[in-house]
Structure 1
Amino acid sequence: MTTLFRLSALATASLVLAGCASVNIDEALLDANTTTNSFTQGQLVLSRTPQQQQARNQLSSELLAKPLAMDDAVQLALANSPALQSLLAQSWADMAQATQAGRLANPLFTFERTTFGSELELGRLLSFGLMDLLTLPRRQAIAQGRVAQAKVQLSASVIERVTQVRQAWVRAVAAQQSLQYADQVNRTAQASAELARRMQQVGNFNKLQRARQQVFYADATAQLAASQHAATAAREELTRQLGLTDAQAAQLKLPERLPDLPKEARAANVVSASATEQRLDVQLARHQLDIAGKSQGLNLITSLVDVELGIRRDTVFDNASTGGPSTSTPRKGYELGIRLPIFDWGSAQRDTMNAQSLAAASRYESTVRGASSQLRESYSAYRTSYDVARHYRDEIVPLRKTMAEENVLRYNGMLIGVFELLADNRDQISSVTAAINAYQQFWLADAALAASITGKPTALLMAAPMAGVPADAAAH
């Protein structure tokens, strides 16, 4: 009875230690929503029921019923994108796999039936890994660390996905705006070329003067074709980021222009040193370092020895007596199996875990050191693009508008001709195009900076300002 009690107590303790709870994906999504709420302004939901899918479809229909703003594009991606749903499901699988690694392996039950002459022997053996049981608390701690790492990775992936959606929306709206302006320029160039043709017919223009107007129209036509493709490509990229079907893509309506610049740029304190510790890439590197440290202590033991403990109970039946009942003799005991480190002393495994620990430590140090620098770079791109866009808004575009109004007055006073007026319009083309590009560059940098503060850095190449075309080059 004492032995049975001890075995029962050991089995009960094993079950309690092995009772690691399953991954609750709803709680994981709640943590991700809490972490990314200020960035996404929405809720992550993994659709597992028809009702949840119907709610997502309803929200998508409501968002597509009106021109899609930038924040609405994020909400549409969260509700509609199958790629984002795949990301959530894969994160669930990663967390479940990490949890499984922290559980105790099932015991092995072996049944034997052998006969020898008049004897029948029944053997029963229940065995389990003793080292697995002894190292279970450490393995559960490692599993919990990997689950936490998977949660941080989920938040970082969501932020990266949302940043891609925002930047795709900016490019699509800017390309559409550039296409509208390119169409206006093309129509103006067509009218100029037609007027030049007629004036040549009546002898008021020579062949060179007409050729200059015609080449401007030809360039405008080529630019219009390029703008049409750019607008289509940017729109399709946004369609893919939002996960729209063909029917939904036909319903997609975008604003006519990019949003206005904010009244003030973000303050420089967004790149403070305290922000680096809150970044998800730093948290992810820290989790990797913690897991590597815990795994090193565990692998140090398991690389040297492995022990299997078994509880045996056999029964031998003797059927030799005739006419009488058979006799049975019970036998019980224990088995201990130890894997002897003769051929492999685990040196390669220990070298591997030492190298992984060193790599994790260096990776964490590199991430921390680079975080502040990356934030300063992102803020510099943001602030530079804001200043350039504001310069176009407050200086260049108003000056071009004033010059255009003055030239219209001079044309009405018959001080200049129609082609001088058209030449001035050509000077405005590069300025307006550059202003659109400057607005686009700012909103791209704004999305990249928001991602760098919360999640991980997003690479963004600053576009050089477009040089204006001299007035005399267009007029002559």
Structure 2
Amino acid sequence: MKLALSALGLAVLTGCAAVSPQQGVDRANDEAAGFTQGALNLARTQQERDDRAQKTQTLLSAPVGQKEAVQLALANSAALQALLAQGWVDAAGAAQLGRVANPVFSFERMSSGGSLDLGRALSFGLLDLLTLPARQGIATRRIEEAQLRLTGDVVDQVTAVRQAWVRAVAAQQTASYAQQVYQSAEAGAELARRMRAAGNFNRIDRAREQSFYADAATRLATARHQATASREELVRLLGLDEAQAGALRLPERLPDLPKQALEPQAVASLATRARLDIRLAQSALDSASKAQGLGVVTSFTDIELTGRRNTAFDADGTRSNARGWEIAVALPIFDWGGMQRAAMNGRTLAAANQLEATVRAAGSSLRQSYSAYRTSYDIARHYRDEVVPLRKLISDENQLRYNGMLIGVFELLADARDQVGTVLAALDAQQQFWLADAALQASVVGRPGGATVASPAAAPAESASAGH
């Protein structure tokens, strides 16, 4: 009865640090609601997998916007499911630290002549039991750390999907425009060839038109490859198979710029005080500190308690019982645990400095992300409101001059070529803004991605003035 009660007490104690696969998923849905919209789920049954497949087909039946791309990844990505399963593994491994090791039962039978000795012993780690509350505290903090890390990984994955979608749509849009430029250059080159054959065009002007046509063909091939590569990157992040990849349709162009950019005060209010990176570093420090305190004791020795009950049968059939207990103590003679304590001290110091570094860098990374966001917005708006309208005005005026027979067709084509660089730079500026927008959203919750502002796309070489 005493042994049964003891075992029951141990079972109650060891049940304190338990995790389920849904705990980490629920926490990620709660902590990163703006990224998962509560749709994150670990599929463990065939019914759940069938539901995910049905949702995937529904999403693929229409053009996939950025929001739908995230939903596709959450529903269909096997890599994301592996990430959730690994989070379950990490949390379960952390919880294991808060469990008491199973007791060891041994049975011994010894016979000599007509006598028989039966020995029974139940052993368990006494030090393991005495330090259980401390180990459960460490386990709780490591579970917290594993769940925060899972949330951060989910945010990173969703951000990668958002940015891959932007690159795929922008590359598709650029390839479409490169096709238009190619067709225009082809027509110009053919016209120049015919006029040269008729003796109405000199060699150098004919070579200029042919050179632009050759460059346009090269740019078209490059743009098509970039569109394919960007699309395949998105396909991999969404976890699509061959049939699903064939059904994937993207919008023809990127979304319009928002009417107003976010102000610094609005970004600061969105930034949670409990950022994921700071909380993860704090949890790591708490865990290391607790483990260091526990290690001061466990690094010196170990204690094992054993209860024994022996039964002896003599040759004449007389039976006698003996009960008792013993304690086994590991003697710190050769190893005093100094290196273990030194390692734990180092881990605690590293965690403390990592926390301080994270706190110091948090504001800086957010300011950098906002600067990239605001600069990209201002550049994209500048192209939309100033540069592109000016180029259109010049084009319209040259069209009027051509209609009035003040300039020829090649001057009109030369003006169209001059617009190519402006349009490409405007597309690139719009792409850079949406990439910076996704990076800013991640930085706000504490997953900075080092957002940068790229230079506008280089304009193709302009043709020389085609005066004849």
Normalising by structure 2, we get a TM-score of 0.97
Match of 2:334 among 321, 334, 343: 343
Once residues 278 and 52 of structure 2 are traced to their aligned partners in structure 1, the CA distance between those partners, rounded to angstroms, is: 33
Aligned to 1:68: 64
Once residues 92 and 474 of structure 1 are traced to their aligned partners in structure 2, the CA distance between those partners, rounded to angstroms, is: 66
Aligned to 1:177: 173
Once residues 473 and 383 of structure 1 are traced to their aligned partners in structure 2, the CA distance between those partners, rounded to angstroms, is: 36
Match of 2:425 among 430, 434, 437: 434
Once residues 446 and 60 of structure 2 are traced to their aligned partners in structure 1, the CA distance between those partners, rounded to angstroms, is: 28
Once residues 8 and 55 of structure 1 are traced to their aligned partners in structure 2, the CA distance between those partners, rounded to angstroms, is: 46
Match of 1:458 among 423, 439, 449: 449
Instruction: Report the CA distance between 1:118 and its aligned residue.
Output: 2.3
Aligned to 2:289: 293
Match of 1:424 among 390, 415, 426: 415
Instruction: Report the CA distance between 1:22 and its aligned residue.
Output: 3.4
Aligned to 2:323: 332
Match of 1:357 among 348, 352, 374: 348
Instruction: Report the CA distance between 1:459 and its aligned residue.
Output: 2.6
Given that 2:178 and 2:216 are in contact with CA atoms closer than 8 Å, whether structure 1 keeps it comes out as yes
1:378-422 CA distance string (max 9 Å, x none):
000000000000000000111111111111111000000000000
Match of 2:221 among 210, 217, 225: 225
Aligned to 2:380: 389
Aligned to 2:360: 369
Q: Does 1:27 align with 2:18?
A: no
Once residues 474 and 79 of structure 1 are traced to their aligned partners in structure 2, the CA distance between those partners, rounded to angstroms, is: 55
Given that 1:200 and 1:206 are in contact with CA atoms closer than 8 Å, whether structure 2 keeps it comes out as yes
Q: Secondary structure at the match of 2:32?
A: helix
Instruction: Report the CA distance between 1:49 and its aligned residue.
Output: 1.0
Once residues 463 and 66 of structure 2 are traced to their aligned partners in structure 1, the CA distance between those partners, rounded to angstroms, is: 41
Q: Secondary structure at the match of 2:110?
A: strand
1:313-338 CA distance string (max 9 Å, x none):
0000002x3xxxx1111001001000
Q: Secondary structure at the match of 1:278?
A: coil
Aligned to 1:216: 212
| Larger deviation, residues 262-271 vs 421-430 | 262-271
Q: Secondary structure at the match of 2:204?
A: helix
Once residues 37 and 385 of structure 2 are traced to their aligned partners in structure 1, the CA distance between those partners, rounded to angstroms, is: 31
Given that 1:404 and 1:424 are in contact with CA atoms closer than 8 Å, whether structure 2 keeps it comes out as yes
Q: Secondary structure at the match of 1:473?
A: coil
Aligned to 2:142: 146
Name the Cα RMSD after superposition.
Answer: 1.6
Instruction: Report the CA distance between 1:470 and its aligned residue.
Output: 8.3
Aligned to 1:202: 198
| Pairs aligned (count) | 467
Once residues 415 and 278 of structure 1 are traced to their aligned partners in structure 2, the CA distance between those partners, rounded to angstroms, is: 67
Letter in 2 for 1:72: E
Quick one: structure 1 residues 393 and 338, their matched pair in 2 at CA, closer, same or farther if it must change by over 3 Å?
A: same
Once residues 214 and 246 of structure 2 are traced to their aligned partners in structure 1, the CA distance between those partners, rounded to angstroms, is: 32
Once residues 72 and 273 of structure 1 are traced to their aligned partners in structure 2, the CA distance between those partners, rounded to angstroms, is: 27
Instruction: Report the CA distance between 1:471 and its aligned residue.
Output: 6.5
Given that 1:273 and 1:372 are in contact with CA atoms closer than 8 Å, whether structure 2 keeps it comes out as no
Once residues 175 and 467 of structure 1 are traced to their aligned partners in structure 2, the CA distance between those partners, rounded to angstroms, is: 15
Aligned to 2:251: 255
The alignment-based identity, stated in percent, is 57
Instruction: Report the CA distance between 1:279 and its aligned residue.
Output: 1.7
Once residues 424 and 8 of structure 2 are traced to their aligned partners in structure 1, the CA distance between those partners, rounded to angstroms, is: 75
Instruction: Report the CA distance between 1:359 and its aligned residue.
Output: 0.3
Q: What are the equivalent positions in structure 2 for 1:34-45 lying under 5 Å apart?
A: 34-45=30-41
Letter in 1 for 2:404: G
Quick one: structure 1 residues 36 and 274, their matched pair in 2 at CA, closer, same or farther if it must change by over 3 Å?
A: closer
Unaligned runs of 5+ in 1: none
Once residues 320 and 217 of structure 2 are traced to their aligned partners in structure 1, the CA distance between those partners, rounded to angstroms, is: 102
Given that 1:68 and 1:253 are in contact with CA atoms closer than 8 Å, whether structure 2 keeps it comes out as yes
Quick one: structure 1 residues 44 and 474, their matched pair in 2 at CA, closer, same or farther if it must change by over 3 Å?
A: farther
Given that 2:17 and 2:140 are in contact with CA atoms closer than 8 Å, whether structure 1 keeps it comes out as no
Given that 1:426 and 1:474 are in contact with CA atoms closer than 8 Å, whether structure 2 keeps it comes out as no
Given that 1:316 and 1:328 are in contact with CA atoms closer than 8 Å, whether structure 2 keeps it comes out as yes
Aligned to 2:118: 122
Aligned to 2:48: 52
Given that 2:277 and 2:447 are in contact with CA atoms closer than 8 Å, whether structure 1 keeps it comes out as yes
Given that 1:114 and 1:121 are in contact with CA atoms closer than 8 Å, whether structure 2 keeps it comes out as yes
Letter in 2 for 1:453: V
Quick one: structure 1 residues 287 and 173, their matched pair in 2 at CA, closer, same or farther if it must change by over 3 Å?
A: same
Quick one: structure 1 residues 299 and 410, their matched pair in 2 at CA, closer, same or farther if it must change by over 3 Å?
A: same
Letter in 2 for 1:396: V
1:195-237 CA distance string (max 9 Å, x none):
0001111111011110010000000000001011000000000
Given that 1:20 and 1:99 are in contact with CA atoms closer than 8 Å, whether structure 2 keeps it comes out as no
Once residues 40 and 475 of structure 1 are traced to their aligned partners in structure 2, the CA distance between those partners, rounded to angstroms, is: 56
Quick one: structure 1 residues 274 and 395, their matched pair in 2 at CA, closer, same or farther if it must change by over 3 Å?
A: closer
Instruction: Report the CA distance between 1:468 and its aligned residue.
Output: 4.9
Quick one: structure 1 residues 336 and 237, their matched pair in 2 at CA, closer, same or farther if it must change by over 3 Å?
A: same
Q: What are the equivalent positions in structure 2 for 1:304-315 lying under 5 Å apart?
A: 304-315=300-311
Q: Does 1:449 align with 2:445?
A: no
Once residues 294 and 311 of structure 2 are traced to their aligned partners in structure 1, the CA distance between those partners, rounded to angstroms, is: 39
Once residues 34 and 417 of structure 1 are traced to their aligned partners in structure 2, the CA distance between those partners, rounded to angstroms, is: 65
Aligned to 2:275: 279
Quick one: structure 1 residues 274 and 50, their matched pair in 2 at CA, closer, same or farther if it must change by over 3 Å?
A: closer
